[in-house]
Chain A
């Protein structure tokens, strides 16, 4: 029953996420991240990224009162133009964090120095989240 409901609610996503690394609930994210941090060297990129992840997730979700979100972390995503963006500590044994061009919101353009509306960044984590409606878990 659960799987059929989830299947029905699925929408088409233009971005193809591949290689699921982790999945966790937003309400136990702190616990999950603390546990994961123990497995990495403090100077590794994945460690510093994880330290920041929760902070920014909290900011991102602060406008919603719900915290029944499930967050999936993937190591790669394919954009609509076919480019593959990676954020992984182990791509055939090597770390690969893609550098990307990000189009800035036109309202924010005057706040930053940009390269003709583009800012550059390095992807630390790729995540996909969905809202887990507990009602569908009640059989």
Chain B
């Protein structure tokens, strides 16, 4: 329990349409938490959507 990370969470942008083209569509929230590094499974590529504010897609196809 010694390895920690302060994380700022993303949440789904819309509860009804959670995915776009199979990719989770997210917004950055003001929620933070301290989590154990053990819980971090991987790096992810999160890309801002063009011409939109606080609207992101998780790149599931090209990494």
Give A contacts to B, CB under 8 Å. Answer: 13, 15, 17, 49, 52-53, 55-57, 59-60, 77, 79, 81, 83-85, 87, 98-105, 113, 115, 118-130
List 29 A-B pairs, Cβ < 8 Å: A15-B3, A15-B37, A57-B34, A60-B34, A77-B3, A77-B5, A77-B37, A83-B43, A84-B43, A85-B37, A85-B40, A99-B43, A99-B44, A100-B5, A101-B41, A102-B39, A113-B12, A120-B46, A121-B7, A121-B33, A122-B10, A122-B28, A123-B5, A123-B7, A124-B6, A126-B5, A126-B37, A127-B6, A130-B2
- B3 and A13 within 8 A (CB): yes
| B residues near A128, Cβ cutoff 8 Å | 2-4
| B residues near A104, Cβ cutoff 8 Å | 39
- A100 and B42 within 8 A (CB): yes
- B41 and A102 within 8 A (CB): yes
| B residues near A85, Cβ cutoff 8 Å | 5, 37, 40, 43
| A residues near B44, Cβ cutoff 8 Å | 99-101, 120
Whether a CB of chain A sits under 8 angstroms from the CB of B18 is: yes
- B7 and A102 within 8 A (CB): yes
- A124 and B42 within 8 A (CB): no
| B residues near A129, Cβ cutoff 8 Å | 2, 4
**Interfacial residues of chain B within 15-63, with CB under 8 A of chain A in the complex:** 15, 18, 24, 26, 28, 32-35, 37, 39-46, 58
In the A-B complex, list the 9 residue pairs whose CB atoms are closest, starting with the nearest. A121-B7, A125-B6, A99-B46, A120-B10, A124-B6, A52-B32, A60-B34, A122-B8, A101-B41
Q: Give the docked Cα–Cα distance between A93 and B52 (Å).
A: 27
Q: Give the docked Cα–Cα distance between A126 and B9 (Å).
A: 15
Q: Give the docked Cα–Cα distance between A128 and B34 (Å).
A: 12
Pick the contact of B43 from A98, A119, A130 — CB < 8 Å? A98
